[in-house]
Structure 1
Amino acid sequence: MAFGRRKNDDQRDETTETPAPAPADPELDDEGGPFDIEDFDNPDDAALARLDLGSVLVPMPAAGQVQVEMNEVGVPSAVWVVTTNGRFTIAAYAAPKSPGLWREVAGELADSLRNDNAKVSIEDGPWGREVVGTGAGVVRFVGVDGYRWMIRCVVNGAPESMDRLTVEAREAVADTVVRRGDTPLPVRTPLPVQLPEPMAEQLRQAAAQQAQMAAAQQALIQQQQAQGQQPTERRSASGSAMQQLRSSSSTGG
């Protein structure tokens, strides 16, 4: 993992410092991440070797890909890192200055999984409790409390590859940088996701292509109806291009 140079501890405001728990996973670096953008002398250093999503800057594992999910109005709702072992997504939320929000959220997630008839377990991770739900697949929630922000990582994969995927996700969380901003926000408000312009342009092109194909399909149906034929549906070759977009993992900031 690539770490940028951080400010010395004696340059930090001791009244706002929230010490990070020591990593329990031997695979993790001992630098004490995830980080705040304010940890860097030069904020531009935070974008090196990380995917800049606005509110979070996420390192990419080797051979990783990016999968973007869009909501109904065309705004990114989740950005997944996809590896051969599964996928995970890292997002940041507004939080109080003092830690403790993740403990509340973890309890709510566990209850929600139980309501969905999933088998639930609580496990100790590098930053405290992690919630694991097992059903048709396995989902793991990793959370970290920061200063005015909280990270939630969702890890989703098959049982046989979950251990390897969890290591990848924890390593990514440990090297993630949060760009919280100064705007006051209600607690638990998701911090906005902003795609890098090359990736956003790919999505726009995919959306335009999908719209053209939909228009062509509708015109064909209307033509068949006018001729008294039974309309035949054609599935777009691009599939759900607006919902899922894979691109090279070399995008870094």
Structure 2
Amino acid sequence: MAFGRRRKDRAESGYVPGEQDTAQEAAGAADGPAQGPYDVADRPSEEGYVDLGALRIAATQGLALRLEVEEKTKRVVAVTLDLDGSSLQLQAFAAPKSETLWDEIRAQIVQSVSSQGGTADELEGRLGTELLARVPAQAQDGSKGYRVARFVGVDGPRWFLRGVFGGPAAMNPDAAGPLEEVFRNVVVVRGDAPLPPRDLLQLNLPRDASPLPKRGEESAKPEPPRRGPEITTIG
């Protein structure tokens, strides 16, 4: 297959994303999407969500967010969510009305990983077709190892959402569960402005980042995630 992409079954890959619930999928086909990520037209309410502009993130106890800013342009290019020692980076892009991007983007990710001497295995998981990438990296003790990242993607109406799981959620299905639920509840706000395909959708600082309740205190309604470092600069 092009770019050295390898499709593996779950046992061979060492990662088991989980069984699909075919009954729920069949029911969802008749009634619309059974689970997200969602377009804003399907979930217009902002209640219980943190508004980041193009993305709305469901409030979850213990969740922290970091906004990543491109140094040259000073624009927010991604949001990374941290929960229970794992991370999920999210980016939303404009997409053609009648085409999908995930197949092409997967091929490009494989090419990039392969050029670094790594591998990328294509899997069918709980979030659809995924890539499990292993990129050579140096450990803190100087020994050689691999950094593992799990790429997922969703083609929506005129938008594409990419997620990258890191930490235990990249390999362990049990550890991945909480962040997968966060991913499924993401709402994408595409907007009506004409944009070239693959242009990043605009992300903004949250309008409200109230702290989560202290341990032992009860909260009457979901609180927004705690804000991590205000800005993480990337080159």
TM-score range with shorter-chain normalisation? Answer: 0.5 to 0.7
In structure 2, do the counterparts of structure 1 residues 85 and 163 end up closer, same or farther at CA, with 3 Å as the change threshold? farther
Contact kept, 8 Å, 1:95 with 1:188, in 2: the verdict is yes
Partner of 1:38: 41
Task: Report deviation, 1:174.
Answer: 1.4
Partner of 1:55: 54
Contact kept, 8 Å, 1:86 with 1:161, in 2: the verdict is no
| CA distance in 2: counterparts of 1:74 and 1:164, whole angstroms | 36
Task: Report deviation, 1:61.
Answer: 3.5
Partner of 2:232: 243
* Matching residue's letter, 2:36: G
* Matching residue's letter, 1:175: N
Unmatched segments (≥5 aa) in structure 2: 1-18, 29-33, 136-145, 210-228
Contact kept, 8 Å, 1:138 with 1:159, in 2: the verdict is no
Contact kept, 8 Å, 1:58 with 1:90, in 2: the verdict is no
Larger mean Cα displacement after TM superposition, 59-68 or 189-198 = 59-68
Q: Percent identity?
A: 29
Task: Report deviation, 1:98.
Answer: 2.7
Higher RCO (C-alpha 8 Å, min separation 6): 2
| CA distance in 1: counterparts of 2:127 and 2:20, whole angstroms | 8
The structure where helix makes up a greater share of residues is 1
| CA distance in 1: counterparts of 2:203 and 2:83, whole angstroms | 21
Task: Report deviation, 1:119.
Answer: 2.4
In structure 2, do the counterparts of structure 1 residues 53 and 168 end up closer, same or farther at CA, with 3 Å as the change threshold? same
Partner of 1:233: none
In structure 2, do the counterparts of structure 1 residues 83 and 38 end up closer, same or farther at CA, with 3 Å as the change threshold? same
Which of 166, 190, 193 does residue 203 from structure 2 map onto?
A: 193
For residues 1-253 of structure 1, the aligned pairs below 5 Å read 24=20, 31-40=34-43, 43=44, 45=45, 47-72=46-71, 73-135=73-135, 136-158=146-168, 162-198=172-208, 242-243=231-232
In structure 2, do the counterparts of structure 1 residues 87 and 189 end up closer, same or farther at CA, with 3 Å as the change threshold? same
Bigger Rg, which one: 1
Task: Report deviation, 1:48.
Answer: 1.9
Cα deviation, 1:119-141, whole Å, max 9, x if unaligned, reads: 21111124531111123321111
* Matching residue's letter, 1:190: L
For these two proteins, the number of residue pairs brought into alignment is 177
3-state SS of 1:96 partner: coil
Task: Report deviation, 1:25.
Answer: 6.2
| CA distance in 2: counterparts of 1:108 and 1:49, whole angstroms | 35
In structure 2, do the counterparts of structure 1 residues 101 and 124 end up closer, same or farther at CA, with 3 Å as the change threshold? same
Task: Report deviation, 1:194.
Answer: 1.0
TM-score (norm. length: structure 1)? 0.61
| CA distance in 1: counterparts of 2:172 and 2:115, whole angstroms | 23
Contact kept, 8 Å, 1:99 with 1:146, in 2: the verdict is no
TM-score (norm. length: structure 2)? 0.66
| CA distance in 1: counterparts of 2:128 and 2:171, whole angstroms | 22
In structure 2, do the counterparts of structure 1 residues 152 and 241 end up closer, same or farther at CA, with 3 Å as the change threshold? closer
